[in-house]
Homo-oligomer: A and B are copies of this chain.
């Protein structure tokens, strides 16, 4: 088999066999196939597409390129969640302890942020001492003991996907359904998930800009999961504005804590309860969705979810005082409100621009190896559809120095529009997709 023949077959619209996909993926993972051949193949896949069968074979080839976790001796059913990324998305910080508090084990390996999209592992590292580098034995022991783990990617999960993703990022081949689907699902399958709840974002701050595209992606992921023998539910969620109020690592941890105490933003609370209920239903902890939702609400209001979060932080070496007294979390040197320049209805709050402002403040990464400042970020005080009062804080910028503060202030001001006419609030979820 030759890489060039496989490239040419896909280029000409052919359907690749399982053997050809396996050859290409393992060859690339081992370094036998160079970046430039993978790049031209990726563009051919982007423009020619892949059948469901090819996408499944690609997913499984990438999953099998590294470790395949099996947690069945510890957790009878493993339910995972995945978000396609977004601005202010701290959902895992709340949902994981909430679901674990309901008795469903959650063993989650989380990623790091790149570009305007944040990563859960970065957020957790705002908590002094919190370890995201558990080894396999620690991972299993903690899961068995307290039923929850939230760590970085400790096992070598789908290394072929990691290499291909980095290449897609620089070759204009990110936004292709079979490539997105196989990237997400290969990691989840390698991590041993039996069931998966997908949080598919749509809007200016998401890969998928239109509802139709998001539906196509959600349907493809659900179909793939089914073909791979996993139960999968996808929820299509809004990402035209940031989720919740806070954007930035320590600021998002604080907001997760307030949400676990039932005093956080309403949109974030609802988002988390619905995702948790889907996970509980898939994991067999409730007879139906209504019961699952009731259970999740109970565990949030009872404080059990908060206690589980506390247990998690303690187990992973985090300073529990920092979450009990969140003012101990990293604080930016400069905290300055940005007043609303006029009164009216908030018509736009561009998620990408707010996320990019936080990256510029040092709270995210432009390049993969950039160091990040956990203390900085932006808090939004109004959401789309709200009636804004001139002079009241529209944003609060948390910055490390004056120059960055000024740049971020200008950027967030340019990211919003206030109008005279009433504006519809944005929905939290647009649609649920299941087999």
* A contacts, CB < 8 Å to B: 4, 7-8, 11, 34-44, 46-48, 167, 170-173
Contact = CB atoms under 8 A, between A and B. Distances in A.
Nearest to A5: B172
A173 B44 CA distance: 10
Q: Is the interface of A mostly helix, strand, loop or mixed?
A: helix
Contact of A171 (B36, B48, B167): B36
Contact of A44 (B7, B34, B172): B172
A103 B97 CA distance: 89
A39 B34 CA distance: 11
A41 B46 CA distance: 12
Given A37-B39, A40-B173, A42-B40, A11 B47 contact: yes
Contact of A39 (B8, B39, B47, B48): B39
B171 A7 contact: yes
Pick from A39, A44, A47 the residue with the most CB of B within 10 Å. Answer: A39
Contacts of A39: 35-37, 39-40, 43, 171
Given A11-B43, A47-B47, A37 B170 contact: yes
Contacts of A34: 35
Contacts of A172: 4, 7-8, 11, 40-41, 44
Nearest to A12: B172
A171 B40 contact: yes
22 contacts: A7-B43, A7-B171, A7-B172, A11-B46, A11-B172, A34-B35, A35-B35, A35-B36, A35-B39, A36-B36, A36-B167, A36-B170, A39-B39, A40-B40, A40-B42, A40-B43, A40-B173, A43-B43, A43-B44, A43-B47, A44-B172, A47-B48
Nearest to A3: B170
A211 to B, nearest CB: 20
A36 B40 CA distance: 8
Pick from A38, A42, A47 the residue with the most CB of B within 10 Å. Answer: A47
A21 to B, nearest CB: 16
A222 to B, nearest CB: 27
Contacts of A7: 43, 171-172
A36 to B, nearest CB: 4
Nearest to A46: B11
A107 to B, nearest CB: 35
A7 B170 CA distance: 9
A104 B42 CA distance: 49
Nearest to A47: B47
